[in-house]
Structure 1
């Protein structure tokens, strides 16, 4: 019994090597059809043998194979020409995967003596081994015929496929390895799209297909921790194998598109990636014990109190709770930091101006320290509410307002106010906040084209803020201030006002930055980049921008006449918050100052004449010493 599974596996591999070779080389239609016929024989033999085992009746084996030999041979003799090879590739791929599943079911039943299901057919060492070897063989044969982008996509998927949790004694190892590889694959996808951004057509749809497979894989692993079943994950791996073999033979998706010119394409890429990252973050939180397994354990691990589904408000509350708990979790932030940090680092290397490079380096470092290490892993993590500068997003960041945390909270506002006055709001909006890391990577920075082309983005252009943005800014600021007063009075016992037993300031922070911010982020193709700045919804950013608007920071030019003669206006095109009128101010006053300007510095870097420079307390001091 030990040798029989090995004999079946080796036979399967040898036959499939022959079939793959004939289909890939395609020396003649007749040879390909003969190979497909042989492939079908392997399928019916596996199915027939499996039916024989579970029914203990050779009739099933005989009838299955006899029927195939007759009808399959009829098709082989009557098909003279194949007009679309893609159809043959699809049929070949489908038969291959079903045959391997039947082989997995057959071997499982041979060993365990009970009928197999999808999980046990796919999640065993024999299926996984054969699958990986066949995929690798297909890639080797077709390697020279593939373009570099698709080749890299296939290699990335091939590296991901072996990590079936069922094959390993512990699920943690394969899940961690698959997450690491998937992060690398996601960076690869973003980088390839960014590299092709100037082309009229890109392999965008191929990237969307692959991202969809990754998303389904992560959903499958998440479902496993909730319901202890890998069925969804198994289906995703089957689809992944089919896609791999088909694309290796047929090439990339012939449909082309450019994400920088088509907002729906851009949104699809961002949305699919975001869903994948959401579930990946949740899976890693399960693995590391942040969330408890099974549905009841998961619900008890959420940030906000769970409410029964008795009315629409409770349903909305629970939806916000699930989304915000995952998006605000440590491993989601770590995973996003690795992805976005790598893209931001590549963007930093593209920058010419030293100060912009330094700012981006500080941004990456601030994310690692201020968002990840200090709140989660440092010895200070339990004392953050009492330490100035640690309320990283202002009121609500670390809980409610009370006498015990006033020093840390007020101290944070004072320090940020001083920094914003001296250096501009870039100390937050371009460095310590998580937003710039997300927006400043190569791929996402290229989406600033939608500041000009999207309907809402066009309304938010120039340094002027529309009246509706001012209304949002004022309303949000008033609401947060009132919430802080209520929270403080609650702490003193003067009143008792909470929402589902949750402090109102923490709830605002949770909804604003763990839910709404991400909705704005994935809506870049319709709102433009840095919508948190341009729409005025971020109360913490608004505070720092307000201080900056009366502070020392501004942009200046060395010679206004250079701006007069400039034909390209690269500074306006480069601005990630959509400020397009800075050139007029440079010509008129030699400097530019705006509530919206958060000091990203891409205008400084984009100027072909090196005419624009930052002005802040450093230049102010130099001027005083000169006099």
Structure 2
């Protein structure tokens, strides 16, 4: 109790002193005054860095070392300041010195916490242990709140919003009470939820400013780096029981917060629709952050067992010696580790929440009623078809026996057993083929599959510009199927068919062939849809949008596209002469699969039909004359009735 009172007093003084220094920086102090602020910030670091050594041993030697180190810093620092005064020090306020100040603030607070720890335990602990106590977070929260309120009017959008959302994420930290498991788990869910909201805000902010020549691209990337560090730190905690990386992320986040609040957004700017390398880096970093977040939520819900052995035992495909079969074991383990998280329900829920909100934001901008209905169906299908039915519903254990519920065609989450072959697999293909014939491949590729939800939200839909600007994206333009497209399709289907046959023969006892003990179709499903699909997705800046279907990587997509090409679905125009007069050809530019020959077909035939067209409907939205409309079995039936009525 006595120590608690002392700690409260010291922490309060520390907070007040730090706030005063931040206030001085805010007032625009420069030259000698700024140098004095840096000197005082450094003095706190030196003092709190040396005190733990004294309190952990408490002898004459350490006492002397503490006094000597602090005295040395004071004398040398003062002499340096006096020397610079004589030289008439000029402007030293710049991004580097402001960053040093912010770093000194964050480090001194962590060392204060380390000092408190050494007083209580008479030991040092790891260098970042000072972050793991409520005194540290009390000081940090006070400084961040003061900085946010005091700087609010001078910070412009979107940095203001970024700092505002980072504040609660850092405050609700699991290491405030690291030994309280319930508190740790509760704060993990809170911070994960807030981080999902923050990610949506970042993406939507970039999207709203997409027409500007420059945006806060680097500032957004910096924010995502902090999120990635935090999620990686929580993931590491579940693996080895250490908060070390997470503690570092707290110091990094605090440093960035103070630095950006004082110096403003990054001077490095750009436009994400024009910079493929930056966009790829940003999407990749987001995916890494989301992968760690999905893994953390899997640990928190018991899907993964804590510790490295527990995690390995929880992998969906298992784990083998990485050196087995000339290094193929390592490749297998990577697929198993990545796919175990991306294929987990909490990763899908988290991704669906983010992408679903981006899709919701886009609905209000849609003009066509049918497109609005499709968006609602698409979002609902993800929630019901992808999440609820196979995981939480009463029929979750039976979905493999129900037609149209068998996951993604031949590549499945289970072996091709006789009990599921007829209704589960063949039934799924039969039902899906009928639907594609009647309504087009849109019933899968624009509604039921997880891909459309991820491709058609505001931010990711705008990336279709890379269909025309990227080298590989340009090669997918138009309706003509390139030879390499056919090769990819044949290769994917051949692999799946061979795997399915082997799986079936294994199930009936004729063969006993597996991939490191994993059923062949189960392995290919995890590889194609839990690993390769995400590689294709994050490579949009280089491969173009919807590359899963424009390049033939998705077997389920190509099957439905092929059937749909013989069916009723097509695009029609009300008046081809309008297309002839149209100079902008907005329909072709808006197409997310790059069907550049669309306008020509409208002029010649009054309609457009292509295996690649999956009815996303962006062409309908983009047409400035409201001239394009969907056509499927509904219109065929309607026309038949009209003819009968007219005949009568």
Q: The TM-score by the shorter chain falls in which range? A: over 0.9
Q: Hey, what's the Cα distance between the residues in 1 that align with 2:584 and 2:185? A: 54
Q: Does 1:46 align with 2:48?
A: yes
**TM-superposed deviation, 1:621:** 0.6
The reply on whether 1:160 has 2:172 as its aligned counterpart is no
Tell me by how many angstroms 1:305 deviates. Answer: 2.7
Partner of 1:615: 631
- CA apart distance, 1:388: 1.1
- The offset of 1:176, in angstroms, is 0.9
Q: Could you tell me which residue of structure 2 aligns to residue 234 of structure 1?
A: 247
Superposition deviation, residue 28 in structure 1: 4.9
Query: What corresponds to 1:69 in structure 2?
Result: 74
Cα deviation digits, residues 219-244 of structure 1 (max 9, x gap) = 11111111111111111111111011
Which of 359, 362, 374 is the matching residue for 2:377?
A: 362
Q: What's the counterpart of residue 541 of structure 2?
A: 525
Task: Measure the CA separation in 1 of the matches of 2:25 and 2:195.
Answer: 30
Which residue number in structure 1 is paired with residue 263 of structure 2? 250
Aligned to 2:415: 400
Q: Quick one: distance in 1 between partners of 2:433 and 2:83?
A: 81
Write the mapping of 1:185-584 to structure 2, written as runs, cut at 5 A: 185-310=198-323, 311-405=326-420, 406-584=422-600
After TM superposition, the structure 1 stretch with the greater mean CA deviation from structure 2, 97-106 or 492-501, is: 492-501
Q: Find 2:611's aligned residue among 590, 595, 599.
A: 595
What's the secondary structure of 2:246's corresponding residue?
A: helix
> Which structure 2 residues correspond to residues 15-54 of structure 1 after superposition, within 5 A?
15-54=17-56
Match of 2:143 in 1: 134
C-alpha distance after superposition, 1:353-403 (max 9, x if no partner): 111111011000000001111111001011111111111311232412222
Contact 2:442 2:616 in 1 (8 A): yes
User: Corresponding residue for 1:148?
Assistant: 157
SS in 1 for 2:171: coil
Q: Distance in 2 between matches of 1:438 and 1:513?
A: 14
**Runs (4+) off by over 6 Å:** none
Match of 1:101 in 2: 110
Q: Contact 1:366–1:432 at 8 Å: present in 2 too?
A: yes
Counting only pairs closer than 5 Å after superposition, residues 51-62 of structure 1 correspond to structure 2 as 51-56=53-58, 57=60, 58-62=63-67
Structure 2 unaligned blocks of 5 or more: 644-648
Q: Within 1, Cα distance between the matches of 2:615 and 2:589? A: 15
1:461-504 deviation line (CA, Å, top 9, x unaligned):
01111111012112322332232222222222222322222221
Structure 2 CA distance for aligned equivalents of residues 50 and 307 of structure 1 = 45
Moved more, 277-286 or 81-90: 81-90
Q: Please show how residues 116-127 of structure 1 align to structure 2 within 5 Å.
A: 116-127=125-136
The answer to whether the 8 A contact 1:165-1:174 is kept is yes
User: Is the contact made by 1:118 and 1:234 (CA closer than 8 Å) also made in structure 2?
Assistant: no
Distance 2:241 2:53 in 1: 28
Q: CA deviation at 1:27?
A: 4.3
Aligned-pair distance for 1:534?
Answer: 0.4
Q: Against the structure 1 CA distance between its residues 560 and 136, is the aligned structure 2 distance closer, same or farther, given a 3 Å change threshold? A: same
Question: How far apart, in 2, do the equivalents of 1:91 and 1:542 lie?
Answer: 55
Which consecutive unaligned segments of at least 5 residues does structure 1 have?
Answer: none
Deviation of residue 53 (structure 1)? Answer: 1.5
In the other structure, the counterpart of 1:14 is 16
Q: Deviations over 1:80-116 (max 9, x none)?
A: 2224432331221122122112211111112222223
Q: Secondary structure at the match of 2:629?
A: strand
Work out whether residues 392 and 433 of structure 1, in 8 Å CA contact, stay in contact via their aligned partners in 2: no
Cα distance 1:421–1:120, how it changes in 2: closer, same or farther (>3 A)?
Answer: same
Q: How many residues align?
A: 627
CA–CA separation in structure 2 for the residues paired with 1:39 and 1:183: 35
Q: CA separation in 2, counterparts of 1:312 and 1:172?
A: 37
How far apart in 2 are the matches of 1:313 and 1:398? 22
Offset from partner CA, 1:238-276 (integer Å, 9 cap, x none): 111101100000000001111110100110110000000
Which residue among 2, 5, 10 is the counterpart of 1:3? 5
In structure 1, how many angstroms separate the alpha carbons of the residues matched to 2:403 and 2:103? 61
RMSD: 1.4
* Paired residue secondary structure (1:252): coil
